[in-house]
Chain A
Amino acid sequence: KAGVTQTPRYLIKTRGQQVTLSCSPISGHRSVSWYQQTPGQGLQFLFEYFSETQRNKGNFPGRFSGRQFSNSRSEMNVSTLELGDSALYLCASSLGPTTYEQYFGPGTRLTVT
């Protein structure tokens, strides 16, 4: 069974641009969560989607948004990029909202210059 895939794996953007990251969950998984990982702040929860609906949102500005499609694939978008947005963005999928086990993808490394 294929794991969680994230594309692209690496991305370099300029301050002020916007970026879209993609996550394909494990087949059959309907819940997708996004996390930001930085050396300073560690792992922080961004948002969670289930059945195309955002169920939870972390403490991030409105520049960070996401969505989930009917096939459970998810995208997150960051507009007006700032240097501080440089991070590893991790996506995790799980069977549904009542399951405890989340499976993480390899992440997208975003560098903002």
Chain B
Amino acid sequence: GDSVTQMEGPVTLSEEAFLTINCTYTATGYPSLFWYVQYPGEGLQLLLKATKADDKGSNKGFEATYRKETTSFHLEKGSVQVSDSAVYFCALRMPNSGGSNYKLTFGKGTLLTVNP
């Protein structure tokens, strides 16, 4: 079945450091890819998405490029802030078929801590 593998954390960085969180996927088809962020005590927020190969999603300084050849969707940010401390989830969803909103398949999540 479809699956998402993301680098295990926790990841601890100093403010203004460069961030990369690796994400690879396995899917029988061409999924849409997502990064969600979860702040302590809150639900998930969509951070960015890409729906086809070579698409780049970006938001709040975060970027990820859909790489079909390496089945990857790595999250990057050039300069992290303390406020970026959260858990980051990579997810995929297969294309709509038959009019149904298919489930999101998530990775295990990566805890990021940014120190001042």
Give me the interface of A with B, judged by CB distance under 8 Å. Answer: 4, 31, 33, 35, 42-43, 45, 48, 50, 55-56, 58, 90, 92, 94, 96-107
Contacts and interface: CB of A to CB of B under 8 A. Distances in A.
Given A43-B89, A98-B96, A33 B46 contact: no
B43 A107 contact: yes
Given A31-B101, A58-B103, A105-B43, A100 B109 contact: no
Contact of B51 (A56, A100, A106): A100
Nearest to A48: B101
A90 B44 contact: yes
A56 B109 CA distance: 24
A89 to B, nearest CB: 10
Range of interface residues on chain B? 20 to 34
A58 B101 CA distance: 13
Contacts, number: 61
A33 B105 CA distance: 12
Contacts of B49: 100-101
A43 B102 contact: no
Contacts of B43: 4, 90, 104-107
A103 B41 CA distance: 16
A45 B44 CA distance: 14
Contacts of A48: 100-101, 103
Contacts of A107: 43
Contacts of A106: 41-43
A45 B103 contact: yes
The 9 closest A-B pairs by CB, nearest first: A45-B103, A104-B43, A97-B101, A43-B106, A104-B44, A55-B100, A106-B43, A42-B108, A105-B43
A42 B109 contact: yes
Nearest to B42: A106
A56 B94 CA distance: 13
Contacts of B89: 43
B101 A55 contact: yes
A56 B100 contact: yes
